[in-house]
Structure formats: structure tokens, C-alpha cells
Structure 1
Amino acid sequence: MSNYTKVKSAYVMDAKSGQTLYENHADKQLPIASLSKMMTLYLTTQAIKHHQLNWNDKVPVDKQLIKMSKSYALGSFKIKRSNQYTVKDLYRAALIASSNSAAIALGKVVAHGDNAKFIAMMNNQAKDWGIDANFVSSSGLDNTDLKHYGYQLSGTPDKAQNMVSAKAISIVAQHLIKAYPQINQWSNKATYKLANQTLVNTNSLLKPGYYYRASNHLTGLKTGYTESAGLCLTVTYWRNGRELIATIIGGQSTFSAMNGLITHLDKTVRSKSVTESPKTYHLEGRKVTVNPAEKQTRVWYRMGQDPSKITVSNQLIVNQLPVKKGAAVTTTSFNHTGLPSTTNQNGTAATAVSKPITSNQGNTSGTNWFSRLFAGIGKAFSQIF
């Protein structure tokens, strides 16, 4: 199982803390095929959470997407007519069977019928998270396929495709499972009955797949394949009470490679529990109390490192007041682990702290202590006379 190194890119992270456990060309932008659908599902989830959509809303599907759904090469879930399926139906079809038509239809309904607007939303979300991604499609299909159905994004080259790094798409997965923790009720299904169709998941790591191993404790998440991307895979699995996210892009035998990568980490990485307490910082003359992201976190470290030397440090990422309650105030690092120290955990303000009263030094308030003294003397004399 040494072929976990013979891939274009790989990345493994702790889903809660964002700590990196493994990386191999993890920041290189590559085609990711249907792993792209995780961003589409995230934005759909957010639309539902913000009451812009309902799980039971019927979704309009245009004729071209219906045609695509019946394609031998591009269709995995057949749609007969518009408004036949609900948001929940198409969500499951996009996740489990990787339906391209379902993903595009979801994106359009989120963006009020505008495919280009939805793809802009995907790119804007990636930018907001500070991740390395360039989306041209909500499904992960290349323009070479999309152009036949009128879904090539205007202004993009004929062969354009979604270009995203393994680390970036893992972070998308992190946000997706945080926004919708119940997603594994569907993502861990090898098959799923939906209406009169059977959704088939191509993830062979799931039971009863050929590469299934009970010891992996796998819970999903998404596969992808195009000719240019090769086989791509993001999985979620559990170790030591923590959910991990692992992504492999472009392997020749990606399922075998993923098993090899998981085994490699089992042999080379350990973890320890660390307790964090609220801390107080001074900012513009005021005290800001910061709650840790987790009171009891788990820090991963490479074997050979001394776990007693592991420390957790927090650095202020704001330099001025006011701060709102719950706002991110610090960023967390895990030190002396033999692994990258950065995480995407943030300490948050325990209470709102308003902007301090402007300093009177330098007469910045218009009245310094000297002028106030004479104002008081003047007032006393006016009372005498």
C-alpha cells in the first residue's frame, strides 16, 4: 500500500481544529472533478439554514439538464420532468450518485435561476475562506462537456475546468460537515433508494466495497472523476474520538492509495488531549477575555516527538476595538508536534468590548486635564461672585 505517495496531491487534516496531519503537493491547484460538488452542497446547506430554501421545495430543472441526466457518460440519476424532485432529493442525488444535473439544478435554485451567479458565489466563498480555488462549474464537469448543454460559463476557455488544491477542497469539506453534521447519514451509503431509482455511490471504501476496511471507521464523503482529473477522493473518518478529512487527487488506484495513507498515519502519528482555558488580552487599554475554540482539544504529533513539550499558543488577529461577542480574536497554533503548527481554530471574544474612551493626552478630546482644572476654578469663582 505504498502507492499513497504516487498521487498528484494529498492532504489530511483534523476536521475540528484544521491541524494538518499530512501533505503532499497539497497547495497545488489541480482539476478536482466532482469533489467540486461539496462547495455546491455547502452553499445549498447555507441557503436552507438562512431560510432561503426549504428541503421540501420542488426544484425546476431545464430541458438541457434533463437531457444531461439521461446521458450514458454524464448522467447517474435520471430526471423526467421539471419540478419532479425536491431540494433534498437532488442534494442526495448529487452527494451519493454524483449527479451532475442535480448539482447544477441546486446551484441555479440557490442563485434564483442564474448559473453564472452561483459560480460567482462559489468563488467568492472560496475567497472569503482564503483558500486556493477557481471554479467554472457547480458540478465539476469540464467545459468540454458543459458546452454541449449550454452551461459553459461565459468568458471561460473551451477546456476550462475547476482548479482547486487538495488542501482547499478539504477545507470546503470541513465547512460542509460543520454546517451539516448529519450529511454522513447519506455520504456513508453505498446505495440509496430514491423514489423509483437506486443511487449508486462509487466510493469503494464504503461497505461492502472492494476496498472497505472496518478499521477505517469511514463516514463518507465524496468521489470525483474526469479524464483530465483522474480519480479524486475526499473521505471523512474517525481516530481517537476525532473526525479527520483526507483528500487524494489524481491517483492511479486512489482507493488503495487512501487505505495506504490512512495506514501510514496510523503508524506515524499520535495525539494527546490538551486543556485550554479562557485568556485575557489587553487591547487599546481594555481587557478582552477570549474563549478557546475547544476547552478540550486534541493535538496530533509525529512519533518521535516528545508530547510533554507540545504547547498551544494563541496570537491576536485584531488590533483595535470594538469587538463583538463571539468574534474571532485569536488564532491558535500547536507547537513542537513535528507537524505544521498552524490551525484554523480561533479564540472568540467572551463578551462584547466597546471602543475605549478616547485618550485625553495630547488634547485629543478637545479638553485636557489642564483646561478642565481652570474650567473648575472659573466655575468656583462664578459661584463666589
Structure 2
Amino acid sequence: MKHKLQKGLSFLLIALVMMTTVIAQPFSAKAAGSLNIEAESAILVDAESGKIVYSKNPDIKLPPASMTKMMSEYLVLEAIKSGKIDWDTTTQVSNYAYSISADSTFSGIGLTKGKPYKVKELYKAMAIFSDNGATIALAELVAGSEGNFVKMMNKTAKEMGLPDYKFVNSTGLSNKWLGDNVPEGTDPNANNLLSARSAALLAFNLIKDHPEALDYTSMIETKFEGYKVENLNWMLPHKATYLKQFHYKGVDGLKTGYTDLAGYCFTGTVERNGQRFISVVMKTKSKAERFQETEKLYEYAFSNFESKKLFSKGYQLKDKSTIPVSKGKKDTVEIATKEAFKAPVKKGEKKKYGIKYHIDKDKLNKDGELAAPIKKGEKIGTAELVYKGDADYGYIFPGDDKQTVALVAQDSVEKDNWFMLTLGSIGNFFSDLFGSIVDTVKGWF
């Protein structure tokens, strides 16, 4: 009886330990399939390689509301980079910009008519608390009119390769709210449209080409027109007690958005230990939910993926390390990767990655040889990173779901001198002649 009681207690103890283990486990979103994101559309991208690690309906075109301003920020920063304007350039707001700013139903604190504003003041107002009037004032400064600025927005979107986009104004408001100020050449009833994939690619380009944008999107508060205003991104370390629950370590951008039509949306970015991710959630139900769902994405990213160098610079496939060379002082040349392959790797899946070579066929003769001369470092083709696991979402880049680096020659191969080439030609001639004679003689018997 005592033995049975001890045995029963042992089973009970094991069961309790197992239950405690399950209950005590923190949220880690072990698999993308279990990641239930409460948003119409969402995407999560590694900001270095462009690898998509999660997506949900990423190609649905939806109104992005003030996430539109990421493109406006990009174009202002481009204008500064080109020298067209600088941070201290001043401008006065137009009647149109003032009227939008003065409307309390729109984002903003209100601009002062006739007052000269520096670009830096207006940019901070746009990036930190999404002031619509400031955005219009910057658009007019950069392009002369918002209509011209919209043309720049669409042109840049095309150049970036955004797969799904339509820009009709600089702010993300509905055109029908702009009254007589609808940008020239746009539909008075139109809305800006972006897919989550396009928003992520826009964010990717913004922080890649202009990393200084993060200096502003990470500001928790700033002063404008004598008022202290706070960043609308609740995932930053705000001082207010009720916002501390949303803080997520490493978040430093990028842009919130809301309209009745768009719902609550957010393009975010986070960096921890040298690993950065970009996220987009579109059409969530509340201010809080857009940040809660973003936190799910980040927890999934950092719990499941590690940025790893999979193959180093100068890597060679053992059975394909050389290519034959014709008319050279060497018969072969070694090839290897010009750069290292680095990617977000799901834990335990490092061995599921390999490399595939794509040699440039235009560089080869009919016998599969490279023609000398060959320069050291000359591109011979590309090496492609191949993933052999499940749930491959591809890359953020348009029309390119591959991560590649250049394959280059490791040494120079000079062209053989004319004498040796002549001897070779003579040798080839007699070799062909002898072969022809042998074939003829064989034909007699």
C-alpha cells in the first residue's frame, strides 16, 4: 500500500512539474503558424538582409494614413542631402498649410501664420507628432506645390520598386478632407494606398539611405510653438505611467497612422545586439492594439531568429572552386564569394542553408571556358543563398526572392603570348587532322 502511495505521489509530482513548466513559459511564438496577429495585414523583415521572416496578407493595398509621411520624410532628407535645402532653411506656411494645421480634427498643434519656420522645426513636427500642416509646408518648400511633391512621391516609389502604392497627398489624409486644396492631378475622393510589403520596403530604404531619420523618430518629446509634444509611438520609453506597459527595449521608430478608413496602423523598427527588424501592422482596432501586435512580432523575431554569418567572404564550393581558362598562361582560375552571407537564421536551422553558383554564360565559350585575360576580382557570376527549410517568405526586394553575392576570380590570368598560342593552334590543327585520318582509316574497315 505504501509502495502504491509513493508511486502515485511520484506521478502527481511529475504532472505538477510539467504543468508548472508549461504555465511558466513566457510568450515566445515558437512558430509563425502560432503567431496570431490581430491586424488586417502584417509583415516582419530583417533590416540588414531584407529577409521576410513573417507575413500575413502582405500585399493587400490599404490606406496607410500618416505612415505616408515616411515618404515625405525621405524626400525632405533627399533634398537636404542634395543641397537643395538645409536644416536651417526657413519658410513661411501657406494659407493651405495653415488651414489644415488650424483644424483641430487633424493631427498637429497649430502653425502660426506669417512666422518663418526652420526646416528642422517642421521636420520634427512631422516625424515626431505627425503634424499635417508642417508636412504640407515642407512639401511646398521642396517641390513648389504639394501637387509636384506628390509626383515626386510616386516617382520615388517606382524607383524603390514598391510593389503596391498610390500617393495622392503628402500627409495621409483623405483628399476629400482637403477641400479646394486637393493636390493638382489627383482625384478629389482618393486616398493614399500602400501594402504592408510596400510600407516595409519604404521603411527599409528610409533607414538605409538616411539613418539620421532615426535620430528624430526616437525622440520621446520635443517643444514646438511653445508647447511640449510627445511622440505618438508608445513603444518608446515614455515617462507617463500608463504608457510604460507598451515600452519595448530597442524600438527607435518609425511612424504611426490613423484614420477612420485606415484604422490604427504602425510601421516600427527595433534593434537589439546589432540585429534590426522592421515591422508593419495595418488596420488594427485601437491605439493600444497596434503596439501590442507589434510586440508579438518582435518577441517572435528575437525568440526565434539569430543573425548569423552563414558563409564567409572567399567561400568556395569544394567541387566548383575552379573554372577552366582558354588562351591563358594558366589552365584554370579559382573563384570565390566576394562578400559573406549573413541572414536571420531560425534556431537550429543553420544546416538548412547552402550555396548555389550561377556562372555568367556570356563569359564562357562553347566548351565552358573563360577566355583570358582575366583580372583578379573580376565578377564571374553570382552565388545564391539557398534555404531548404519550411515557411520561406522570401525577401522584401521587388521581383527578387534571392540573396546573392558576386562570384569573383581569385587571381589574374594573363593571355598566353603569340608564340605559345601559335604552337597551341598548330598542335590543335595536327590533333584534329590526325583524328580525321584515324576516323577515315577506320572507315575503310
Question: Shorter-chain TM-score: which interval?
Answer: 0.7 to 0.9
Which range moves more in the overlay, 263-272 or 160-169? 263-272
Deviation digits for residues 223-249 of structure 1 (CA, Å, limit 9, x no counterpart): 010110011101110144121111101
SS of residue in 1 equivalent to 2:254: strand
Change (3 A) 1:281 1:12: farther
Change (3 A) 1:36 1:274: same
- Distance, in Å, in 2 between the alignment partners of 1:172 and 1:6 is 23
The aligned residue for residue 294 of structure 2 is 258
1:309-348 pair list within 5 angstroms: 309-312=352-355, 333-336=385-388, 338=390, 339-342=392-395, 344=397, 347=405
Q: Which amino acid aligns with 1:118?
A: F
Q: Which amino acid aligns with 2:274?
A: G
The aligned residue for residue 237 of structure 1 is 270
Higher relative contact order (CA closer than 8 Å, sequence separation 6+) = 1
- Distance, in Å, in 1 between the alignment partners of 2:313 and 2:108 is 50
Quick one: which of 228, 240, 257 aligns to 1:198? 228
- Shift in Å, 1:83: 5.4
- Shift in Å, 1:182: 2.2
The aligned residue for residue 351 of structure 2 is 308
1:1-385 pair list within 5 angstroms: 5-82=37-114, 84-111=116-143, 113-131=144-162, 132-146=164-178, 148=179, 150-158=181-189, 160-194=190-224, 196-208=226-238, 209-214=243-248, 216-252=249-285, 253-277=289-313, 295-303=339-347, 306-312=349-355, 333-336=385-388, 338=390, 339-342=392-395, 344=397, 347=405
Which range moves more in the overlay, 180-189 or 220-229? 180-189
- Shift in Å, 1:164: 0.4
Change (3 A) 1:342 1:223: closer
Gaps of 5+ in 2: 1-26, 28-33, 316-320, 327-332, 364-376, 398-402, 410-445
- Shift in Å, 1:152: 4.4
Q: Which amino acid aligns with 1:169?
A: A
Which range moves more in the overlay, 148-157 or 26-35? 148-157
Change (3 A) 1:343 1:34: closer
Contact 2:69–2:126 (CA under 8 A) maintained in structure 1: yes
Change (3 A) 1:157 1:241: same
Deviation digits for residues 143-193 of structure 1 (CA, Å, limit 9, x no counterpart): 1212x25134434142x1111011111111111112221222221222112
Q: Which amino acid aligns with 1:236?
A: T
Change (3 A) 1:152 1:341: closer
- Distance, in Å, in 1 between the alignment partners of 2:91 and 2:322 is 50
- Shift in Å, 1:102: 1.2
- Shift in Å, 1:273: 2.1
- Distance, in Å, in 2 between the alignment partners of 1:46 and 1:249 is 27
Q: Which amino acid aligns with 1:150?
A: N
Contact 2:214–2:254 (CA under 8 A) maintained in structure 1: yes
Contact 2:107–2:129 (CA under 8 A) maintained in structure 1: no
- Distance, in Å, in 2 between the alignment partners of 1:43 and 1:246 is 21
Contact 1:223–1:234 (CA under 8 A) maintained in structure 2: yes
The aligned residue for residue 372 of structure 1 is none
SS of residue in 1 equivalent to 2:232: coil
Deviation digits for residues 22-42 of structure 1 (CA, Å, limit 9, x no counterpart): 111111111100001001110
- Distance, in Å, in 2 between the alignment partners of 1:224 and 1:178 is 22
Superposition RMSD in Å? 3.5
TM-score by length of 2: 0.67
Higher helix share: 2
Q: Which amino acid aligns with 2:198?
A: A
- Distance, in Å, in 2 between the alignment partners of 1:331 and 1:118 is 40
- Distance, in Å, in 1 between the alignment partners of 2:128 and 2:182 is 22
TM-score by length of 1: 0.77
- Shift in Å, 1:315: 5.5
- Distance, in Å, in 1 between the alignment partners of 2:44 and 2:407 is 29
Structure possessing the higher radius of gyration over alpha carbons: 2
Which range moves more in the overlay, 122-131 or 266-275? 266-275
Q: Which amino acid aligns with 1:94?
A: M
- Distance, in Å, in 1 between the alignment partners of 2:109 and 2:205 is 26
- Distance, in Å, in 1 between the alignment partners of 2:191 and 2:101 is 20
Gaps of 5+ in 1: 352-385
Change (3 A) 1:273 1:331: closer
